[in-house]
Amino acid sequence: MIYLDHHATTPVDARVLEAMLPFFTEKFGNASSRTHRFGWEANEAVERARKQVASLMGASAREVVFTSGATEATHLAIAGGTAVAPAGRRHIVTVATEHKAVLDPCRQLAASGWTVTELPVAPTGLVDVDAVARAITPGTALVSVMLANNEIGVLQPVADIARLAHAQGALMHTDAVQALGKVAVDVATLGVDLASFSAHKLYGPKGVGALYVKRGVEKQLGAPVRGGGQERGLRGGTLNVPGIVGFGAACEVAGHEMQVEAHRVSALRDRLWQLLQERVGGVTMNGAESPRLPGNLNVGFAGVEGESLLVGLTDVAASSGAACTSAEPSHVLVALGLDKTGALASLRLGLGRWTTAEEIDRAAAHLADVVAHLRRSAPATRLAAAGASR
């Protein structure tokens, strides 16, 4: 089976695994133990990883708070960033195409009396910066707009939005999970206060992530997970030392290989798109062609039923939306203006570090077979409506 679901998760790079292994067994210390070598060794490894992670995002090590993943990092940003907001600020601005890790905590705040503006996007998937400007007021506590979308791969104008947020005195958070290690991420250039990251999206282990907290911003942050005082009191709990070491190693590898890899992967993605247009026909690219992540392609197939498409796809691992909500039509595609049928008849194809040209050719051939078969067996009315060629 050809794995084209790298937005859901990525395999751990062998170099990352190798770096992690000693920290499960002989170097098993608790990074908070101050009285012996076991603790010192674990702490040193964590601090080395903190530098590696910070370096890939252009932060300083002190600005990195390790968490159990991006969902928790985002919770710290949104629940934490609103917990100690001044009384006059009870408003959040976000976007309809955000990951559920952002939308759910915002909706939870809405249920407890906050005003939440979920801005729509254009058919390109991009939010209108003027609309963001109009939405942010002196009553806004936090603005959260993702850097790279996990379904359609488009890159939002985060730096422009951060300027607008700061002009009104609001905190700026970005979910930069899909961008890290794929495209250049520099928190200073982006001008954000808070940014969420996850190791398992860049060939690191699952269950570890980080929140970038700009120097000084920690004073504006409550800590939803307390106890033990780890991570400067911002996130309590014994550190996941092997996971953190793996996150660090994954960032180090990505820093060295990202540029060459982005070039290679985007060429393969373009080849896949070309082949799908030639061999399948009746395809549309969901979201703007650029700016987009190098490994992302989101394709709508006219005249097929979404569920049969996923069932028929025996040789390619892909999904029609985010892994967490794969049975429903994607809220991201619906926000682009697709109807339920169109959203379900779409595939998110995510290429990765070990995707080969041969795999792309086989995946395109398989998709052509599956789609042709589904179109042959589809009711004539649906084919006519779709105007499909085969």
Ligand X SMILES: *Cc1c(COP(=O)(O)O)cnc(C)c1O
* Residues with catalytic roles: 324
Adjacent-strand bridge partners of 180: 183
Q: Are the CB atoms for 239 and 32 separated by under 8 Å?
A: yes
Residue 138 CA to residue 17 CA, distance in Å, equals 47
- CB closer to ligand X out of 20 and 177: 177
Q: Does 331 bind ligand X (CB under 6 A)?
A: no
Residue 42 CA to residue 46 CA, distance in Å, equals 6
Q: Which of 161, 198, 152, 203 is nearest to 176 (CA)?
A: 198
Contacts of 333 (CB under 8 A, 6+ apart): 151, 152, 286, 298, 321, 342, 343, 346
Query: At its nearest, how many Å lie between ligand X and the CB of residue 86?
Result: 28
Q: Does 99 bind ligand X (CB under 6 A)?
A: yes
Q: Which of 70, 77, 171, 293 binds ligand X (CB under 6 A)?
A: 70
Both structure tokens of 344: 């379900």
Of 64-72, 330-338, 339-347, 376-384, the segment contacting ligand X by CB under 6 A is: 64-72
Residue 82 CA to residue 194 CA, distance in Å, equals 12
Strands, E assignment, the chain: 2-3, 64-67, 91-95, 115-119, 140-144, 171-175, 194-198, 209-213, 283-285, 296-301, 316-317, 346-350
Map tokens 């309809």 to a residue: 96
Residue 126 CA to residue 156 CA, distance in Å, equals 6
Q: Does 345 bind ligand X (CB under 6 A)?
A: no
DSSP 218: G
Query: At its nearest, how many Å lie between ligand X and the CB of residue 6?
Result: 10
Of 45-53, 66-74, 237-245, 275-283, the segment contacting ligand X by CB under 6 A is: 66-74
Q: Does 201 bind ligand X (CB under 6 A)?
A: yes
Q: Does 101 bind ligand X (CB under 6 A)?
A: yes
Residue 377 CA to residue 205 CA, distance in Å, equals 42
Q: Does 198 bind ligand X (CB under 6 A)?
A: yes
Per-residue contact string for residues 147-186; x = within reach of ligand X by CB under 6 A? ---x------------------------x-xx--------
Q: Does 209 bind ligand X (CB under 6 A)?
A: yes
Query: At its nearest, how many Å lie between ligand X and the CB of residue 323?
Result: 8
Q: Does 264 bind ligand X (CB under 6 A)?
A: no
CB-nearest residue to ligand X: 69
Query: At its nearest, how many Å lie between ligand X and the CB of residue 186?
Result: 18
- CB closer to ligand X out of 198 and 230: 198
Instruction: Tell me the number of residues near ligand X by CB under 6 A.
Output: 13
Of 40-48, 63-71, 218-226, 285-293, the segment contacting ligand X by CB under 6 A is: 63-71
Query: At its nearest, how many Å lie between ligand X and the CB of residue 146?
Result: 6
Q: Which of 163, 156, 207 is nearest to 178 (CA)?
A: 156
Q: Which of 69, 191, 205, 303 binds ligand X (CB under 6 A)?
A: 69
User: Can you give the binding site for ligand X, defined by CB under 6 A?
Assistant: 69-71, 99, 101, 146, 150, 175, 177-178, 198, 201, 209
